[in-house]
Amino acid sequence: MGAKWASTFRRLMHPSLDITTTSPSSWKYLSEGGATLVFAYTGPSDERFDQRVLRLGKNFTAVEDEKSIILFQTEIISCLVPQKHLVHMEAVMLSFSWLETVSTLCASSRPAWRTGDIDLKCTSGFLAPNLVSSPISVEIKPKWSFLRPGMRTCRFCMHSSCRGWTTSYCPLDLFSSSPSRMKNALYALYDSWTAGAATQNNFRLFIGGGLVTRNDLLPILRRLGLLHSSIAEENEVRELVVGSLHASLLQPESLTLLKTLNRLQRTLDGVGIEGLASLWDKVYLGKKTFGEGILQPTLNEWKSFVNEYLEHQNSSVSSQAQPDEVHLRYCILSYLLSATFKDCSIMIKLPDLHHNYSPSQITLIDLDSKPIQRLQKWLEQDRNIVYEYTVISRQKECVDDLDMSTDRLYN
């Protein structure tokens, strides 16, 4: 790993690509999340940028610099997830004036409900393969894939119920071993998307390289020749999209990836946010606010953590260990990494809807490390969700395939 790290580090410290040699108008706004914006290259053919996207940070978020983000994925995440399901990223040079023009050009394309502007002070961004360059691509943000000990309703379903979100989607269905439950989860995701639940961000559809809405879907599919002429109803498109996604997720490689993601979320969660806060209080005896004064992990510290985790990957963090700062630090890193996998997205590239479920490419994205400073916010949010959900009369019962093995996983 040492030689690999050194090579990656040298490449990041001296990025060879100066993106400011391209016109800002050659980068088309594609999508964004809470902390970043993504642009696709649409300029004159250039082998350096063709079929690539540029990711830029926002100015109000505590996002790591691009070098740290790339190193975290190449040196840490790649130890836990097969490389074939990860994207290759490359740092590029930026400038204030170039970013300022990009920011101005994309303003009219951004959803009104999005907040934050491009961080004009960034001197580097990074390029990645354009995962929506195929005829049809779908992004799914699956969220928490397991039931917490003692709970009957999963975290996502509690949250969606308390917020009044229009969805029947349950992550536990998507991660189940039942093909019918997986398909129901995909129907639920698709239906909440067509109902206009864009702010939930759990399902996004890209066609011809651009993000589409329900109203755009049928006309764009027809215009690009991606739909058989006999398909005339939106419900028929729904069946084709869900059927294609379902077949993609039932491929052996996809099922293995879902199982890997489920295992990582579950075992890294360890003692949970409440258990983590309890450990904190035992160590610091109320002298420090949860998460206060704790430094973000270094890359070397992450490497040491992952090595230790992999040595004991069949068991999670023991809540019976002596509550000292070393054990607490391990639990914090474990929870942060679990949060990364709980918040990542799955990109699925579909060739078209003409043929019956052609092979597709499946990739994990949004695998950045999470800041320790969010611990207190997560604790408060979690407590609020649980408290609000307890007063709901019709509580949902989610089914966890591994629920019977909860004792083995958490004790």
DSSP states along 59-109: TTS-PPPHHHHHHHHHHTGGGTS-GGGS---EEEE--HHHHHHHHHHHGGG
Does 155 lie in the same domain as 121? Answer: no
Residue type, 48: R
Does 337 lie in the same domain as 205? Answer: yes
- The domain total for the chain is 2
Measuring CA to CA, which residue among 340, 321, 313 is closest to residue 279? 321
CB 4 within 8 A of CB 27: no
Does 142 lie in the same domain as 232? Answer: yes
- Per-residue pLDDT at 167: 86
Question: Which of the residue ranges 29-33, 184-188, 280-284 would you say has the lowest mean pLDDT?
Answer: 29-33
CB 136 within 8 A of CB 348: no
The total of other beta-carbon atoms located within 10 Å of residue 49's CB is 23
Report in angstroms the alpha-carbon separations of 312 from 79, 267, 305: 14, 10, 11
Domain that holds residue 84: 3-130
Q: What is the DSSP letter of 373?
A: G
pLDDT category of residue 64 using cuts at 50, 70 and 90: low
Does 203 lie in the same domain as 110? Answer: no
Among residues 109, 130, 151, the one where a domain terminates is 130
Does 35 lie in the same domain as 153? Answer: no
Does 288 lie in the same domain as 365? Answer: yes
Residue 243 in this model has a pLDDT that exceeds 80? yes
Give residue 135's region: left, alpha or beta (phi > 0; psi -120 to 50): alpha
CA distance 90 to 101: 22
E strand map for 248-385: 345-350, 361-365
Does 202 lie in the same domain as 57? Answer: no
Does 191 lie in the same domain as 281? Answer: yes
pLDDT category of residue 406 using cuts at 50, 70 and 90: very low
Residue 408 in this model has a pLDDT that exceeds 80? no
Measuring CA to CA, which residue among 376, 273, 278, 280 is closest to residue 325? 280
Does 110 lie in the same domain as 189? Answer: no
Query: Is the pLDDT higher at 228 or at 5?
Result: 228
Looking at the chain, the whole-number percentage of residues with pLDDT higher than 70 is 86
CA distance 40 to 53: 4
- Per-residue pLDDT at 188: 95
Question: Which of the residue ranges 60-69, 89-98, 114-123, 164-173 would you say has the lowest mean pLDDT?
Answer: 60-69
Quick: pLDDT tens for 201-241.
799 999 888 888 888 888 888 888 777 777 767 888 899 89
Q: What is the DSSP letter of 118?
A: B
Average pLDDT over the chain reads 85
Among residues 75, 101, 130, the one where a domain terminates is 130
Does 259 lie in the same domain as 214? Answer: yes
Does 154 lie in the same domain as 103? Answer: no
Among residues 113, 130, 147, the one where a domain terminates is 130
Return all residues near 286 (Cβ < 8 A) that are at least 6 apart: none
Q: Residue 37 is encoded by which pair of tokens?
A: 């914006």
Q: Residue 320 is encoded by which pair of tokens?
A: 């019976």
CATH number, domain with residue 55: 3.30.200.110
Does 111 lie in the same domain as 43? Answer: yes
Return all residues near 169 (Cβ < 8 A) that are at least 6 apart: 156, 160, 185, 188, 189, 192, 202
31 membership: H or E segment, kind and range:
strand 27-32
Q: What is the DSSP letter of 286?
A: T
Q: Up-side HSE of residue 267: CA atoms within 13 Å toward CB?
A: 18
Helix (H, G, I), strand (E, B) or coil at 138: strand
